Amino acid sequence: MSSGGFWLKFGLFTVGLGQSFVFVLVPPLARDLGLSEVQTSTIFAISAVAWALTSAGWGRASDTYGRRNIAILGLVGYAISMIALITPLFLVERNVLDVIYLFPLLVLGRLINGIIGSATRPASFAYVADTSSREERTLEFARMESSFLVGTVMGPLIGGMLFLITKETPFYLFSALALVGSIGIYFNLEQHEIKPRDPEVSKISYSSNNVWPFLFLASLTSLCQASLLQSMGFFVTDTFSSLDDIPILISISFALISISAIVSQYLFTDLIALNNYKLLICGSLLMAISYYAMSYADTIATYYLTLIFNGFGIGMMRPATASSLSLSQLSENQGSAAGYLGSVMPIGHMMVPLVAMPIYAIQPNFLYVFSAGLCILILFFIIVHPIFKENLID
């Protein structure tokens, strides 16, 4: 692995650290200071919308201004957003700032992440597409995904320990690590020559025939995953309320999904090296089975087993979707393709309040039956649409 590739992975790792930790810590802190659950969820929803609206633009910008420059800009934006997020909480808690300013300032902090922090991922994946062979594309994308997932696992663990020092410490440290990553990228990532775009090469859009099938796939996968992540705490509390240490059981649930996804990516993209079509078929099937079994889980051990299967499915789906999209594009469109894919990833979190939670309110098990149905739809779509069998690398 090149030093530049290492620093890109380190950058995504630092983003994963902060993303998972923010979701764990900020909601209870904000509620303790007077914000409602609706206001807190709105903060993250606005950020997700901003991410969706800007990611494609950053992908196109990396085609024009270079992968390195855009990746660095995203990490700097993420680092600033971490400081902008904790500072209002810090000031209100110490009665330096009136609580009336807390909500708009937290929205601003997350907006910085959604608008600027969204630049790192499409630029990083476009760089990997530029520098990897077609045979290595899925493996390299999986390694990039794993870097982010390791960060999401470590974020609550490291942040929880640092939180014992002060509440601000993990935010400042994670911000500093992102700045270290941006410096490492600047000095170690080769800036490829930015060539004028060939006027004969057609630009791609969301509706392009070699783009929209992958975005549709990613959108449905995002909704299934976001529905699970946002309902997990409620489901464990509601279903296993007789057990002790519910917060610990919830934390273990989050960790199991991320760890099993990392293991899956290693097993099936590196050790066994399935092609993208097989990864998509097996991944969607595993997810469908896991969601359906989850709806009937009556013991915590059974529930954990379904989460492991779900993580294995996600670990196959995400790198295979990104790699298949990349392999379907010309080199001039790699940044745009990565940006489009990044723009649909937050769709699940945006749709959860409108789709998933109303279903959960009717009956918790219904949500996972619904997700299983979506996964069957994904599986059917993969089988019938010819684009997923194209560009296969065995």
pLDDT in tens, 280-299: 999 999 999 999 999 999 99
**CA separation for the pair 256, 360 (Å, rounded):** 22
Q: DSSP assignment of 45-107, as one string?
A: HHHHHHHHHHHHHHHHHHHHH-HHHHHHHHHHHHHHHHHHHHHHHHHHHTTSS-GGGHHHHHH
Q: DSSP assignment of 115-181, as one string?
A: HTGGGHHHHHHHHHHHHS-TTTHHHHHHHHHHHHHHHHHHHHHHHHHHHTT-SSHHHHHHHHHHHHH
* Confidence at residue 345, expressed as pLDDT on a 0 to 100 scale: 85
pLDDT tens sequence across 334-363: 999 999 998 998 888 788 878 888 898 899
* Confidence at residue 249, expressed as pLDDT on a 0 to 100 scale: 85
**CA separation for the pair 22, 64 (Å, rounded):** 32
For residue 330, give the 3-state DSSP assignment: coil
**CA separation for the pair 162, 141 (Å, rounded):** 31
pLDDT tens sequence across 115-153: 999 999 999 999 999 888 888 888 899 889 889 888 888
Could you tell me what percent of the chain has a pLDDT over 70? 95
* Average pLDDT of the chain, as a whole number: 88
* Confidence at residue 356, expressed as pLDDT on a 0 to 100 scale: 87
Q: Are 246 and 294 in contact (CB under 8 A)?
A: no
Other Cβ atoms within 10 Å of 22 Cβ, number: 25
Residue range 212-389, CATH number: 1.20.1250.20
Query: What's the N-to-C CA distance of the chain in angstroms?
Result: 22
Closest CA to 84 of 61, 116, 121: 116
* CATH 1.10.3720.10 at 3-137+149-187, yes or no: no
Between 195 and 219, where is the model more confident? Answer: 219
User: pLDDT-derived band of residue 21, with 50, 70 and 90 as boundaries?
Assistant: confident
Numbered ranges of CATH 1.20.1250.20 in the chain:
3-137+149-187, 212-389
In the block, residue with structure tokens 């309040």: 353
**CA separation for the pair 312, 202 (Å, rounded):** 37
* Confidence at residue 391, expressed as pLDDT on a 0 to 100 scale: 63
User: pLDDT-derived band of residue 302, with 50, 70 and 90 as boundaries?
Assistant: very high
